[in-house]
Amino acid sequence: MNNIIGKVPTILMLVSPILITATGGMICERSGVVNIALEGLMVCGAFASAAAHFFLEPVLGNSLSVWVSLLIGSMAGLVFSYVHAFASVSLNADQTVSGTGINLLANGVTIFLSQILFKQDRTKQFILGMMPGPGGIYPTAFIALLVIFVAWFVLYKRPFGLRLRACGENPQAAASVGINVLRIRYAAVLASGFLAGLAGSCLVLTTNTQFNSTTVNGHGFIALAVVSFGRWKPLGIAGASLLFGTALAFSIIASDYTLLRRMPTEIFNIMPYAITLLTLVIFSGKNYAPLSAGKPYEKGAS
């Protein structure tokens, strides 16, 4: 039993970025925009914060540099998500294509900038990432809890949330009462970009000492599955993140158990993706998606 409790920090370390990204994805999809680019936005955030921390750590000291880098990473995600917002919301582009483009772009730009800044395909290693807090649990876990709580609060207790959810269910209805659907969707996409960037930063600062092309490794897409599996509701998403984060943590935890150590590590690598796929099949929750998610909003159409 002690053994399992001892694994909790590791599990939470991987759950937190997923939960933060999934929250952003939920906000975005609830407003009616499908954001496949979450992966690419996490990559942007991870790269920006890893690079920033490398440069700032000697200057600001570990603590301060970590938090500044988190902010920089979040802003990187925000800025990059503006492209998706502009394409999908203002220009009514195909949201899937636009999102895929962002993913490709993010992968290319981050490695490109690494080449320019560090003359290698990854960032230079920083000395120490984020330090764990009480009980060995990283502060990112608390950040994640805060994020999901604030999201729940705004979505269900504030007028803004009522309007945002309406934009995702029936944007024509929202427009008919004078709500600016485009503005709300923009805000939602930018929020998801900020959160994905934050999540990517949390990921790289807790699990590694540098950013490379395998840092994010599909976590953004797992977050998408979490949103769907969690039925677009905060509580469901929290639970789903726990499940998938645990699966991800398995490949790290497994080395502590002699029986599992014998198996090729790839088996544990496969597990989170296989579980994601399986849950999608068993709990295909298309009926719970916001009604207008993914449909470009056309003004004046009835």
Partner 1 sequence: MILNGLSDANGAGQPIFMLQWTYTEFSMENNAIEMTGITKTFPGVVANDNINLSVLDNEVHALLGENGAGKSTLMSILFGSYDPDAGTIRIRGKEVKIKDPNAATALGIGMVHQHFKLVHNYTVTENIVLGDESRTRFGMLDLKTAEKRVAELSEKYGLRVNPRDKIEDISVGMQQRVEILKTLYRNADILILDEPSAVLTPQEIDELMDIIRRLKSEGKTIILITHKLKEIKAVAERCTVLRRGKYIGTVDVRDVSEEQMAEMMVGRAIKFEIDKAAENPGEVLLAISNLSVRNSRGLLGVKKLSLDVRAGEIVGIAGVDGNGQTELIYGITGLSRAETGSITVRGKEISGMTVKERILAGVGHIPEDRHRHGLVLDFSVAENCVLKNYDSPPFSDGLGVLDFTAINSHAAELISQYDIRAGEGPSMKARNMSGGNQQKVIIAREIDLSPDVLVVAQPTRGLDVGAIEYIRKRIVAERDKGRAILLISFELDEIMNLCDRIAIISKGEIAGIFNSGEVDEHQIGFMMAGSKNKTAEKERA
Partner 2 sequence: MMIQASRKRSLRELLISSDGALSVLVVLLGFLCGTILILVVGRNPVGMYKAILQVLTGYNIDRGRFYVRYIGEWLAQSMPYILCGLSMAFAARTGLFNIGGEGQYVIGLTVAQFFALLGPQIPVLHWMIALVLAMIGGALWGGIVGWLKAKYEVSEVVATIMLNYIALYASRILIMRIPGTNTYKTPDYPVTALLRAPFLEKLTSGSMLNLGIFFVILSVIVYWFIIEKTRLGYGLRATGFNKDAARYGGIPVVKSIVLSMAIAGAFAGLAGGIVSLGSFRFGRVLSGNDGYGFAGIAVALVGNNTALGTLLAGLLFGMLSSAQPLMESNSIPKEISYIIQGLVVVFIAIRGGLRIVMTYSLKKKAAQEAQGK
Contact residues for partner 1 (CB under 8 A)?
Answer: 156-159, 161-163, 165-166, 169-170, 172-179, 291, 300, 302
Q: Should residue 255 be labelled a site residue for partner 2 when binding is judged by CB under 8 A?
A: no
Residue with Cβ nearer partner 1 (77 or 171): 171
Among 6, 82, 92, 173, binds partner 2 (CB under 8 A): 92
Least distance in angstroms from the C-beta of 292 to partner 1:
10
Longest alpha-carbon distance in the chain: 64
Residue 37 CB, shortest distance to partner 1, in Å, is: 27
Q: Is 252 in the site for partner 2 (CB under 8 A)?
A: no
The correct pick among 258, 264, 300, 302 for binding partner 2 (CB under 8 A) is 264
Q: Does 301 bind partner 2 (CB under 8 A)?
A: no
Among 7, 62, 71, 94, binds partner 2 (CB under 8 A): 94
Shortest distance (Å) from residue 163 CB to partner 1? 7
Pattern 199-218, binding to partner 2, x per CB under 8 A?
A: --------------xx--xx
Convert residues 28-67 into a mask of x (bound to partner 2 by CB under 8 A) and - (unbound): --------x-------------------------------
Residue 236 contacts partner 2 per CB under 8 A: no
Any contact of residue 167 with partner 2 (CB under 8 A)? Answer: no
Is the Cβ of residue 112 or residue 153 nearer to partner 2 in the bound state?
112
157 to each of 220, 221, 252, how far by Cα in Å?
A: 28, 29, 39
Rg (CA), the chain: 19
Which of partner 1, partner 2, none has residue 141 at its interface (CB below 5 to 8 Å by kind)?
none
Measured CA to CA, the distance from residue 275 to residue 284 in angstroms comes to 13
| Three-state secondary structure of the chain | CHHHHHHHHHHHHHHHHHHHHHHHHHHHHHCCCCCCCHHHHHHHHHHHHHHHHHHHHHHHCHHHHHHHHHHHHHHHHHHHHHHHHHHHHHCCCCHHHHHHHHHHHHHHHHHHHHHHHHCCCCCCCCCCCCCCCHHHCCHHHHHHHHHHHHHHHHHHHCHHHHHHHHHHHCHHHHHHCCCCHHHHHHHHHHHHHHHHHHHHHHHHHHHCCCCCCCCCCCHHHHHHHHHHHCCCCHHHHHHHHHHHHHHHHHHHHHHHCHHHHCCCHHHHHHHHHHHHHHHHHHCCCHHHCCCCCCCCCCCCCC
We find the least distance from the C-beta atom of residue 130 to partner 2, in angstroms, to be 26
- Which region holds residue 92: left if phi is over 0, alpha if psi is between -120 and 50, else beta? left
Is residue 243 part of the contact set for partner 2 (CB under 8 A)?
A: no
* Interactions with partner 2, residue window 105-134 (CB under 8 A): 105-109, 111-112, 115-116
The minimum distance between CB 36 and partner 2, in angstroms, equals: 6
Q: Give the footprint of partner 2 on this chain (CB under 8 A).
A: 36, 83, 87, 90-94, 96-98, 100-109, 111-112, 115-116, 213-214, 217-218, 221, 224-225, 228, 264, 266-267, 269-270, 273-274, 276-277, 280-281, 284, 286
